[in-house]
Amino acid sequence: MKEIVLVKYGEIALKGLNKKTFEDMLTKNIKRRIKSLGKFICTSAQSTLYITPDDDNADLSEVVDRVGKIFGIAALCRACVCDKDFTDIAEKSIEYLSDILSCAGTFKVTAKRADKAFPMKSPEICMELGGILLEKFPNLTVDVKNPEVTVTVEIRDTNAYVHAENIKGAGGLPVGSSGKAMLLLSGGIDSPVAGWMMAKRGVHIAAIHYVSPPYTSDRAQLKVEQLCEKLTDYCGGIAFYCVPFTELQEAIKDNCPEEFFTIIMRRLMMEIAQRIAAKDNCLALITGESVGQVASQTMAAIACTDAVCRIPVFRPLVGMDKTEIIEIARKIDTFETSTLPYEDCCTVFTPRHPKVRPILSDVEKAQNSFDFEPLIQKAVENTEMKTFNYGG
């Protein structure tokens, strides 16, 4: 019995004249993600992508698991391929769905007749197939409102398809369809979630992280690299930039008022991120900031930080509270790693009384009291880069 994976588009279906571009990008993302699982033929028609195994040993369960994390997909399912003949549909439905229907108490049948030339209309298909399944599986009763199992028959151009489990996809747009941006990735809970949210909008993510040895440990960097690896499940390959930041932090501490330490540190981080972003063709920066969460995330502080930015700064978590962010972190499996007890450079030299309503002119005056440019250039030049790929 031939089995395939049906992938239903999300927002792509609404893209009009640009639809083909988005379809091609989604198809490429899927092919890359399942390449190691065997040989597959990917074709598209009627806002659906068909993943057909061209290998008897293909692991469709793993295909579904991987494809379910790819942005741009509304839903997906494993389905049995049938001839466009009701007798064949009925026979294969009994065989293909035997395990799930034998264990269920209630069910219903739905039909989608995209090929209007098929001789039976959707209500007839539902009624006839429902009767056959009731006779074959005496444990079943019909429940059209809240069934345990929904048997779906899809009559399409070349074949009919039967399935009983529709899996919700990741939604959003294919990664890469909205350009590239640089994520300021700390070891905390928020920034990985911010990266995931922007990837969902089709943004290809690169990541930048700041280390301050000996104040931060190798384990802190390893923790962030592990977060990068986890994000590749959704974001695909990620270029990871690691910036040596010790000298800049020490210079801020020695030459600037303590109350402005965090704001000036953030401004220098943004400056470095922009320069590296330009080299990697990134069009924007991404941060995990949420208004009011900490002293550096008040509106006044964010305004002072943004004053040094020459490219857009996306803050997808800006209006979310911590419980909402944690819920997503758990969903994408970054929470446990983010809460490992290895601190990043943002906790180094934390002021006792940070300025929560800084005035830009005061911050600029404090920052301009020392020439940070040589240290900024040195940090950029000594930045190390590595790439994390899915499954790598």
Residue where one domain finishes, among candidates 152, 171, 190: 171
Residue ranges making up the domain that contains 184? 180-388
Report the alpha-carbon distance of residue 326 to residue 341 in Å, rounded.
Answer: 17
CATH number of the domain that 375 lies in?
Answer: 3.40.50.620
Q: Give yes or no for residue 353 having a pLDDT over 90.
A: no
Q: Give yes or no for residue 1 having a pLDDT over 90.
A: no
**pLDDT in the model for residue 391:** 63
Read off the pLDDT of each residue in 328-356 and give the average, rounded to a whole number.
83
CB half-sphere exposure, 387, CA atoms < 13 A: 5
Q: Give yes or no for residue 266 having a pLDDT over 70.
A: yes
- The residues, any chain, with a CB within 8 Å of residue 367's CB and separated by 6 or more, are 256, 260, 264, 267
For residues 358 and 381, membership in a common domain is answered with: yes
CATH number of the domain that 10 lies in?
Answer: 3.30.2130.30
Read off the pLDDT of each residue in 297-320 and give the average, rounded to a whole number.
94
Q: Give yes or no for residue 5 having a pLDDT over 80.
A: yes
For residues 202 and 77, membership in a common domain is answered with: no
Percentage with pLDDT > 90 across the chain: 80
For residues 148 and 251, membership in a common domain is answered with: no
Q: Is the dihedral of CA 319, 324, 326, 327 positive or negative?
A: negative
For residues 160 and 247, membership in a common domain is answered with: no
Q: Give yes or no for residue 392 having a pLDDT over 60.
A: no
For residues 273 and 376, membership in a common domain is answered with: yes
Would you say 37 and 62 are in contact if contact means Cβ atoms under 8 Å apart?
Answer: yes
Report the alpha-carbon distance of residue 67 to residue 330 in Å, rounded.
Answer: 19
For residues 158 and 220, membership in a common domain is answered with: no
Q: How confident is the model at residue 13 (pLDDT cuts 50, 70, 90)?
A: confident
Mean pLDDT over each residue of the chain, to the nearest integer? 92
Residue where one domain finishes, among candidates 145, 171, 197: 171
For residues 41 and 77, membership in a common domain is answered with: yes
| Sheet (strand 384-388) strand order | 313-314, 284-286, 180-184, 204-211, 238-244, 384-388
Q: Which candidate, 37, 129, 122, 118, places its Cα nearest to that of 80?
A: 129
∠253-259-263 over CA atoms, to 5°? 80
State the pTM of this model: 0.89
Residue where one domain finishes, among candidates 171, 189, 206: 171
For residues 164 and 189, membership in a common domain is answered with: no
Read off the pLDDT of each residue in 292-305 and give the average, rounded to a whole number.
85
Q: Give yes or no for residue 310 having a pLDDT over 80.
A: yes
Point out the least confidently predicted range of 249-263, 351-365, 370-384: 351-365
Q: Give yes or no for residue 204 having a pLDDT over 80.
A: yes
Report the alpha-carbon distance of residue 230 to residue 330 in Å, rounded.
Answer: 12
Higher local confidence (pLDDT), 59 or 243: 243
For residues 225 and 126, membership in a common domain is answered with: no
Q: Give yes or no for residue 131 having a pLDDT over 80.
A: yes
Count of domains in the chain?
A: 2
